[in-house]
Structure 1
Amino acid sequence: MRKFIKIQSLLLLLLYVSAEPDTSISPMEKTEQQALYSAIQALVGNWWNGSDLYPDPCGWTPIQGVSCDLFDGFWYITAINIGPIQDNSLECSQNPEISHNLFKLKHLKSLSFFDCFHYPITLPNMNWENLAGSLESLEFRTNPGLIGEIPTGLCSLKRLQSLVLMDNRFTDELPMNLGNLTELKRLVLAGNHLSGRIPASLGGLTELLIVDFSSNFLSGSLPSTFCGLISLLKLDLSSNVLDGKLPIEIGKLKNLTLLDLRNNLFSGGLPQSLQDMVSLEEMLLANNPTMGGNLMEIDWGNLQNLIILDLSNMGLIGKIPESIAEMRRLRFLAMDNNQLTGKLSPKFADMPSVNSLYLDGNNLTGKLEFSEEFYGKMGRRFAVWSNPNLCYPVGLLPKSHIPFGVKQCQEQASISSSGLKTELGKRNPNQNANFMASHAFSGSAFGGFWCYVLVKEMVTFLLVTLLL
């Protein structure tokens, strides 16, 4: 009986398996297969014979970096990744080409090239519209030979969600019709030689989450339309030549976690609306020497999520507001090389997370009133040198905890030579003799210079007494 049940179960299992489609033997359109082989061969070299090496590229002989999917019972290519990503990845030849056959892969969703083009080559401007109905991600990373303009044909990819053209050698201005890519969530054009202004039309890409135009030669002001990108999480425009005032509407970017505007030429001070960017974790505005402005105009205590605040070399004036010390998550604070004045509040030592505090190169004054424990924890990461009128208290700190480059506070005023002369003039000869005797041998207290002054005064006094 048990044997019969086992045989019955086996038969049912075989029937179930036979009912499932066998995708390993699903056909692939001949035109699709040939387009794939030709496109890859143009990139990796003529030695590559796809039909011999990978006769079933979506089945039992898959190609590294190539992905497939089934559409209406046929295999189609959905992703191609070229470059030394893994040990057996497809790598470009010395003279790779982008074949027109690449644009025949009508279900292609993702296309990326990493470290592929090392000799001068430009991207084609034609045929991109053939991928408009499918392509969602396009990436060219670290291709030093990729030159010329960003093709305007890329702007026909209406379903594109990620466009990454990073660390190449693209030149000229950004295409004005980039604003047509309304489904974009990531736009990264960093590390090229792009110039000109940022198109205001980009402000219409309301789905954007990441914008990175860093390390280019972009100029002009930041379009106020950018402030309408309320879904934006990261905005990096660092290392360009952007100028003008920051838009007062920038505070509308309430979801932004990274704002990086370092190494530009912005001016006009910091807009008060920065205090409304309550999701910010990193605010990097350093090396905008013409920015100027007063930090007291912003309620920094609103930015409770801030972890890094870099305001170095911005031409800032005025006092350092105590509200900065209210940021409980702040770890890194840099305001060095500005024109900040006034005393440094001891409340900065109470910040629970701070481990780097750079305030050197300002005009801060007064006495540092921090604990020995604070100096020990911070070490050289507490930088307050090059503040000529700043000092630390006498005798309260061991030498190992003395803040580097800061002088000791002078608790007692030294007696000047003119003061000695005045004092001598007020005393009678006997008093002067006693006074000089009591001070003439205190060289250890006054130093060699003052010994010289006292001896000189004594000799002068004796000569005058003899002449009288």
Structure 2
Amino acid sequence: MSLSGRTDGHFVVLSLMMVGLIGTCVYGENDGVSVGAPMVETEQEALYSAIQGFVGKWWNGSDLYPDPCGWTPIQGVSCDVFNGFWYVTDLGIGQIHDNSYPCAQNLEFRPQLFQLQHLKSLTVFNCIISPSQGLISIQSANWDAFSSTIESMEFRSNPGLTGHIPSSFGNLKKLQSLVLIDNGLSGGLPANIGNLTVLKRLVMSGNLFTGKIPESYGDLSELLIMDLSRNSLSGSLPLTFGGLTSVLKLDLSKNQIEGEIPSEISNLKNLTLLDLSNNKISGGLTFASQEMSSLEELILSSNPISGDLVNFNWNNVHRLMVLDLSNMSLTGAVPESILSLKNLRFLGLNDNKLLGNLSSRLANLSNLTALYVNGNNLNGELKFPKEFYIKMGRRFGAWNNSNLCFPIAKSYVSVRPIGVKVCHE
């Protein structure tokens, strides 16, 4: 519950938004001093060298951009005034604008990057494209230099960026957003990320991470988004996740996580999205031991969870809009207690081992626009009103239930569900 924007293009570019700060003193002691404010020479030289490390030695910043925070701004660079001088606060390297510079084949994180004294945000987007550029790692860089300034770091769509997450990331005490999406990073997740007490967004999806999720991640009490999806993480869900009391979206899908869903998950009163799909989770549906009043999307599909739907307390998740429990080896009947989900729009129960009749009262869920019960052992007649079939159209899936049938009538011929046989009189 993600979290996830991508752009196309043939060049690797140096870019973010071009920000004009002339006339605005954000941190200066005197309003108005930013007009014509100078830039500290060492800061300017560090900026030129840092950019050159990414785009190549051919790039001559002093000739192209003699006043990088003033009348010759650099795309991807934003500045603020501190004590009457311009300093770089945001640096973006990435494929955002079509007319920007390609990254060099032998790019490097130069030491000068870490001499930018007030850098708050660093973005590297679609820059390190292929391992054929050489193995490029972020491990050896001096990230501790940003320990008191950096608030946001994002490495997105850099498949040629390899190696482990530096343990020094855990020392960036002001970090509020750490985004590592679709890179070639591997190894375990550093436990000391749990020390980042002001972290609000932790997104590390689409890498090659392995091992267990550290229990310390449950200490991130201000976290709003956690997305560790599309990796190879294993082990069970930490019981400490009950401490993520501010989290809105928790996405751990497409990993190798096993064990039960701990009841501590129901402590997450602000949670709107829980996606644990495509893992190895088992143990039945037992986690909602108390009301999860904000939960809108519950996606548990493609797990060997097993068990039935009858004993789950649907009233504790009564605000659900999306419920995907497909391919979970569920048994038993589809209970009418699921009718308490008045806001439900999508219900996926397909590819299980469900038995019995399908209650026509499901048509009373006025917001429901997609219902999939295909691939089960349901039986009897489908007795939904004609209006229900018309509304659902192809979003009603009931095929591959060998003992389920449709009571054909002249007025119903046009709405017969795909793949459901006609009942014999």
TM-score normalised per structure 2: 0.89
Q: CA RMSD in A?
A: 1.5
Q: Tell me, in whole angstroms, the C-alpha distance in 1 between the residues paired with 2:187 and 2:80.
A: 38
Residue 259 of structure 2 corresponds to which residue in structure 1?
244
Residue 339 of structure 1 corresponds to which residue in structure 2?
353
Q: 1:88: how far off?
A: 4.2
Q: Tell me, in whole angstroms, the C-alpha distance in 2 between the residues paired with 1:160 and 1:137.
A: 6
Structure 2 residue aligned with 1:53, among 49, 64, 81? 64
> 2:276 is matched by which residue type in structure 1?
L
Residue 106 of structure 2 corresponds to which residue in structure 1?
95
Structure 2 residue aligned with 1:141, among 136, 152, 156? 156
Residue 404 of structure 1 corresponds to which residue in structure 2?
418
Residue 228 of structure 1 corresponds to which residue in structure 2?
243
2:385 maps to 1:371:
yes
CA contact (8 A) 2:262 2:287 kept: no
Equivalent pairs counted in the alignment come to 392
Aligned positions of 1:151-170 closer than 5 A: 151-170=166-185
> Would the alpha carbon gap of residues 268 and 396 (structure 1) be closer, same or farther in structure 2, given more than 3 Å must change?
farther
Q: List per-residue Cα deviations over 1:269-322 (Å, max 9, x = no partner).
A: 11141662221111111000x210111112324433221111000011111121
Q: Tell me, in whole angstroms, the C-alpha distance in 1 between the residues paired with 2:373 and 2:290.
A: 21
> 1:383 is matched by which residue type in structure 2?
G
Q: 1:86: how far off?
A: 2.3
Partner SS state of residue 62, structure 1: coil
Partner SS state of residue 354, structure 1: coil
> 2:329 is matched by which residue type in structure 1?
G
Q: Tell me, in whole angstroms, the C-alpha distance in 2 between the residues paired with 1:177 and 1:134.
A: 18
Residue 84 of structure 2 corresponds to which residue in structure 1?
73
Q: Tell me, in whole angstroms, the C-alpha distance in 2 between the residues paired with 1:274 and 1:357.
A: 26
Residue 197 of structure 2 corresponds to which residue in structure 1?
182
Q: Tell me, in whole angstroms, the C-alpha distance in 2 between the residues paired with 1:238 and 1:110.
A: 28
Q: 1:410: how far off?
A: 2.2
> Would the alpha carbon gap of residues 230 and 21 (structure 1) be closer, same or farther in structure 2, given more than 3 Å must change?
closer
Q: 1:94: how far off?
A: 2.3
Q: Tell me, in whole angstroms, the C-alpha distance in 2 between the residues paired with 1:88 and 1:408.
A: 61
CA contact (8 A) 2:188 2:210 kept: yes
> 1:36 is matched by which residue type in structure 2?
L
Q: Tell me, in whole angstroms, the C-alpha distance in 2 between the residues paired with 1:202 and 1:308.
A: 27
Q: 1:126: how far off?
A: 4.2
- Which protein has the bigger helix share? 1
Q: Tell me, in whole angstroms, the C-alpha distance in 2 between the residues paired with 1:54 and 1:378.
A: 59
> 2:339 is matched by which residue type in structure 1?
A
CA contact (8 A) 1:65 1:89 kept: no
Q: Tell me, in whole angstroms, the C-alpha distance in 1 between the residues paired with 2:60 and 2:338.
A: 64
Q: Tell me, in whole angstroms, the C-alpha distance in 2 between the residues paired with 1:148 and 1:84.
A: 22
Structure 1 residue aligned with 2:291, among 276, 284, 305? 276
Q: 1:396: how far off?
A: 5.7
Q: 1:247: how far off?
A: 0.4
CA contact (8 A) 1:248 1:272 kept: yes
Residue 361 of structure 1 corresponds to which residue in structure 2?
375
Residue 300 of structure 1 corresponds to which residue in structure 2?
314
CA contact (8 A) 2:266 2:291 kept: yes
2:72 maps to 1:39:
no
> 2:93 is matched by which residue type in structure 1?
I
> 1:154 is matched by which residue type in structure 2?
F
Q: Tell me, in whole angstroms, the C-alpha distance in 2 between the residues paired with 1:339 and 1:348.
A: 19
Structure 1 segments unaligned to the other structure (5+ residues) = 1-18, 412-468
Structure 2 segments unaligned to the other structure (5+ residues) = 1-29
CA contact (8 A) 2:148 2:173 kept: yes
Moved more, 91-100 or 245-254: 91-100
Q: 1:58: how far off?
A: 0.6
Q: Tell me, in whole angstroms, the C-alpha distance in 2 between the residues paired with 1:60 and 1:155.
A: 37
Q: Tell me, in whole angstroms, the C-alpha distance in 2 between the residues paired with 1:87 and 1:126.
A: 29
> 1:212 is matched by which residue type in structure 2?
D
TM-score normalised per structure 1: 0.81
Q: 1:20: how far off?
A: 6.5
> 1:105 is matched by which residue type in structure 2?
L
Residue 24 of structure 2 corresponds to which residue in structure 1?
none
2:333 maps to 1:319:
yes
Aligned positions of 1:8-23 closer than 5 A: 21-23=32-34
Q: 1:359: how far off?
A: 0.1
CA contact (8 A) 1:157 1:181 kept: yes
Q: Tell me, in whole angstroms, the C-alpha distance in 2 between the residues paired with 1:94 and 1:259.
A: 40
CA contact (8 A) 1:330 1:354 kept: yes
2:399 maps to 1:385:
yes
> 2:97 is matched by which residue type in structure 1?
Q
Structure 1 residue aligned with 2:273, among 235, 241, 258? 258
Structure 1 or 2, whichever has the larger Rg, is: 1
Of all paired residues, the percent bearing the same amino acid is: 56
Q: List per-residue Cα deviations over 1:211-253 (Å, max 9, x = no partner).
A: 0000000001000101110100000000001000110111111
Residue 366 of structure 2 corresponds to which residue in structure 1?
352
> Would the alpha carbon gap of residues 20 and 291 (structure 1) be closer, same or farther in structure 2, given more than 3 Å must change?
closer
Q: 1:24: how far off?
A: 3.0
Q: Tell me, in whole angstroms, the C-alpha distance in 1 between the residues paired with 2:249 and 2:287.
A: 20
Partner SS state of residue 174, structure 1: coil
Structure 2 residue aligned with 1:395, among 409, 412, 418? 409
Q: List per-residue Cα deviations over 1:172-224 (Å, max 9, x = no partner).
A: 11112111211111001100000000000111111111000000000010001
